[in-house]
Each structure stands twice: as structure tokens, then as C-alpha cells.
Amino acid sequence: MSQKRPVPLERLDACRWRIPKSYQPGMRVDGLIYADDTLIADIQKDQAPAQVANVACLPGIVKHSLAMPDIHWGYGFCIGGVAATDPEEGGVISPGGVGYDINCGVRLIRTDLTRADIQPRIRELVDALFDTVPTGVGRGGQVKFGRADLRKLLAGGSRYVVNEGFGWHEDLAVTEAGGCLDRARPEYVSDRALERGADQCGTLGSGNHFLEVQVVEEVVDPAAAAAFGLAEGQITVMIHSGSRGLGYQVCEDALKDLRDVPKRYGIALPDRQLVCAPVHSNEGQRYLGAMQAAANFAWANRQIMTHLTRQVFARVFERPAEALGLHLVYDVAHNIAKLETYEVDGRRRTLCVHRKGATRAFPAGHPELPERYRPVGQPVLVPGDMGRSSWVLVGNPAALDETFGSCCHGAGRVMSRSAAIRAARGRSIHKELLARGVFARARERTGLDEEQPDAYKDVSLVAEAVHRAGLSRKVARLRPLGVIKG
């Protein structure tokens, strides 16, 4: 995709920038980017704004083509993009609006441990996690599923693996969608995808995926933090992973199957990476069903890793996980398309909401929230790089009004992986992290090099931008102490 001319950005306020639909032919709605002055300068350095404009051309798109402050260039949609289409008005579903790593997401586990408990044993703990939770490209684990059981897992998600003994039933209440999309269609998942996923449920993977031991270093909103069970000085664990090879294959299969579909339905696209199908078409339903099955796999994957993490803590500290207070705070997806209902132009409409590198952020009172969080709002988990911090936010009403209940999902890359590896030459990222008080393990040296802190925006700037925009508000800042990477 080439960017023929600069994308005009009209400033609306301190954290909102509009791309007028007059920018290019075919735009059905305006683009809207959330960012402050510092972040918008980085955003304008790549083609992400042009992708926001391209997404605005999708049939049935509603309100705006949206982008969060952590956006950067991606396949079809920018990473950090949000778009909702109305199936009743020819709205489409696009694999580029979900991405290859279907339901890549984050979960946060709180503990009753403090930094004083952890610090003397951080290396022992990280080594034990690294030896127990499989990491790396294509790497499988000890938990394997036969074809019949794997199809049950694709249908049941977290519910299925919890019933098989991998976790606690209370985990389901604090997982988005209960860890299961009921319209998943395992029969639409290819044999090749099933082969790739057979031994990868309960594995971390590679790239930006991680398992991190953190300390709550700052509480900004004491009431929300208390509702989430968080307090300063407390140890938490954050897990970031997705649907592994199975999800990648589902996306790859869909891109191939949908290649000629836009032409068949008379859909003109500014970028062929936006290949799509009407939600109500047979082709659209096949992708939706397979994608939701892959999303269930991802929830099951993070659930099994939660189980393994609890086992490690219990061994290292010689106490049961229950006694250590290893309760799940929340689990959110950030690469997914879901059918959700919103009020648009004065009427309730069921929309297909694409979130690619964007987190759901429902406010207080939303009926989909677990009862314990309904008075305060949904926890929004925003991981940063492994050298600085991550944030816990909470959803605000403005997100429901403006972004279909969506918010940022992380720091956002400013350096490609190959560029990060080049920038690491002659350096030891491991030693640099140690100097920051972070003990890190990775399967390959490049795992740390390509994920070095310099490769990312400062997540605190991203959190501040959505806080100022009113989409979410800051609750707590978490600093890494130990991390395992692929």
C-alpha cells in the first residue's frame, strides 16, 4: 500500500484528530484518531493514518473509523484500529480488522504477596516460570488435545478447560464474555489449523507475548483499585498471548477464501488487505464462526497458563495458590470482532465491532460486567514494554458513546522488529534490563532484542491520552520485576 499524499488531520481538541471523509473517494465516514501532541508526531511517521482512512471505506461502517493513541501500521487495519459495521445495512466483517493473532489478549492476576516477599526470590521464580510455561516460535507444551477434545475446546473456551481442571470456576466471571463466544463454529476450522493448535494450548508463543511478574507501584484511583483487589506494593502477574498457530491459520485460510468475495458482492476497496464479506453472507458467517472458535482457543490458552502460573507460585513459596491470593482480576481480548448492541442515531443496533489492537472498555453499570465490577466499571489492561510499566485503567461512559466501548491496548511499536535487532547490536538488553531492576528470560537472544523498551512508545503517554480524552481513567501503574519472553 502506498501513501500518495499526506493525510490531513484536523484538530478537534487536545486528544482528538479528525480525518475528513473528503480526504479520499469512497470514505463513508470520517476518521478519528485519539492522541496528544507528542503521540500524534509519531503516528504521522508511518502509514497508519492512511489505513484509518481506508477502513472508512468499508460498507456499512458506522459513525467513524477509529484509532487509539497506540496505533501503528498493520495488515489492512492499523494496529490500534476500531470499526463497527451494521450487518443490516450491508456491513462487512474483515479479517484485517482482527489480525492474524485472533484474540491476542491480556489477563492480570493479583496476589497477596508483596515486593519484599518476591525480591529475594525473583530469579528463582522467573526461572521456574520459564521452565514451566512453554515459550518460543512454534513451541508446543505438555498439555495436548486430541481432535475430538480440541473441537470441544474450540466450542467451550475457558469453560471447557476449567471443567477439565485447569483453573478455578471464579475465573470465568472475570473473563470477557466468560471466556467463550457461544456462536463459535469449530467445524469451520481447517484440519491444518487443528494440527497447529493440538499442542499449543497453554503456551506463550513469541514476539511481543510475555508473562510478567510486576509490583503495583502507584495507585491513582483508590476506589477502583480496591474494587479490583489492587494496592501499592502488591505483586501481580500479567499474561499476554493469543491463539498461537491455530489462530494464525484461521486468518490465513480466511484471507485465501475471501480473496474474490468483494468483487462478487460489488465491493470496491482502496486496499486489497481489507478483503471482507457481508456479515450476513455465507462467507462472512464462515469466517465469523471460525474466528470465534479461535478466540475461544486463545481464552483457553491463557486459562491454562494461569493454572501453570499458580502451580509455579505454589511450588516456589510452598503454599497453595489459594493461600497466596492468586485471583484473576480480569482478562480482555484485543484482536477480535464481536456482535454487540449500541445506540446509534437514536436507535439500538447490533453491530459487528472490530477491535484490532484495541481493548473493550465498558463503564460502570454495563450489564455485561461481572457484578463485583458493575459499580465501578471494567478493568482495562494496558501492557507496556518490559523495562518501564503497564497500566490498569477503568472504562468511562465516553467510550460507550464514542468508540463502541473501546480503548487502547498497549504501548504501540515505534521500531520494527528488524530495526530493534539492529539497534541492539553491541549491547546486552538483558543487562540493561537488570540495571532497571528487571530479570528477563527468553528462548532466543533476539526475543529480548526485538522487544527492547526503545522499540515502544512510553505506555504512560498512551494511558494519559485516553485518560484526558475521557475514554478510560487511570487506576494503577504496574512496574515489571521479572519477565519471560518467547
**Residue 69 placed within a domain:** yes
Q: How many domains does the chain have?
A: 1
- The CA distance from 277 to 388, in Å, is 41
**Residue 376 placed within a domain:** yes
**Residue 6 placed within a domain:** no
Q: Tell me the whole-structure pTM to 2 decimals.
A: 0.96
**Residue 3 placed within a domain:** no
- The CA distance from 132 to 312, in Å, is 7
Helix (H) or strand (E) holding 417: helix 417-423
Quote the strand ranges of 389-438, DSSP E. Answer: 390-395, 406-408
Contact 428, 399 (CB under 8 A): no
**Residue 106 placed within a domain:** yes
- Total Cβ atoms within 10 A of residue 325: 15
* Residues tagged active-site: 409
Strand, coil or helix: 476: strand
**Residue 296 placed within a domain:** yes
What's the confidence (pLDDT) of residue 4? Answer: 58
C-alpha cell belonging to residue 373: 465490577
Would strands 210-219 and 390-395 be described as parallel, antiparallel, or unpaired? unpaired
Q: What is the pLDDT of residues 74-124, one digit of tens each?
A: 999 999 999 999 999 999 999 999 999 999 999 999 999 999 999 999 999
- The CA distance from 168 to 37, in Å, is 44
What's the confidence (pLDDT) of residue 88? Answer: 97
**Residue 46 placed within a domain:** yes
Helix (H) or strand (E) holding 397: helix 397-402
Residues spanned by the domain of 32: 12-485
404-413: string of b/e by CB count within 10 Å (b at 16+)?
A: bbbbbbbbbb
CATH of residue 101's domain is 3.90.1860.10
**Residue 5 placed within a domain:** no
- The CA distance from 196 to 189, in Å, is 11
Low-confidence residues in the chain, pLDDT < 50? 1-3
DSSP-assigned states of every residue in 33-86: EE--HHHHHHHTTSSHHHHHHHHTTSTTB-SEEEEEEEEE--SSSPEEEEEEE-
What's the confidence (pLDDT) of residue 441? Answer: 94
- Nearest in space to 70 (alpha carbons), one of 79, 61, 62: 79
- The CA distance from 365 to 386, in Å, is 34
